[in-house]
Amino acid sequence: MKARFVRFGVVELDGERYERDVVVDRGAVSRRNKAASKPLREPNGHTPLTLAEGIPWDGRQLIVGTGADGALPILDEVREEARRRGVELVALPTREACRLLSKSRAKDVVAILHVTC
């Protein structure tokens, strides 16, 4: 999959632009459903990535694009669940996460890309 961070608030995946956070599950793109994580926004400064979002765990690697400035908090519960499942969690600012996603085999990777902060 070709992935590119276009600018603050916009990523491009296989030529299609998205202006919202997305989940890439082995090549299929869907909107990140962060509603379940919103109650934890205040104590974290941003809506964090939590297990309540229903993260797909079918890949060997979970790439998390932490935003333009790398500000997306990832709760420890997500890191612990990745370890438990034997999934490599790689957290990078979204520009670098897109580069890594572009170099990866789609069937091996799940990605969550935060497009702002």
Kindly report the number of other CB atoms within 10 A of residue 32's CB atom. Answer: 19
> What is the C-alpha separation between 110 and 57, in angstroms, rounded?
7
| Structural domains in the chain, sorted by start | 3-113 (3.40.1230.10)
| Per-residue confidence (pLDDT) for residue 107, from 0 to 100 | 87
Query: Does pTM top 0.85 for this prediction?
Result: yes
Calculate the alpha carbon distances from 70 to 22, 48, 50, 86 in Å: 16, 12, 16, 24
* Tokens 């030529």 sit on residue: 15
| Per-residue confidence (pLDDT) for residue 113, from 0 to 100 | 98
pLDDT along the chain (117 residues), means of 10: 97 97 95 93 92 94 97 97 98 98 92 96
> What is the C-alpha separation between 117 and 108, in angstroms, rounded?
27
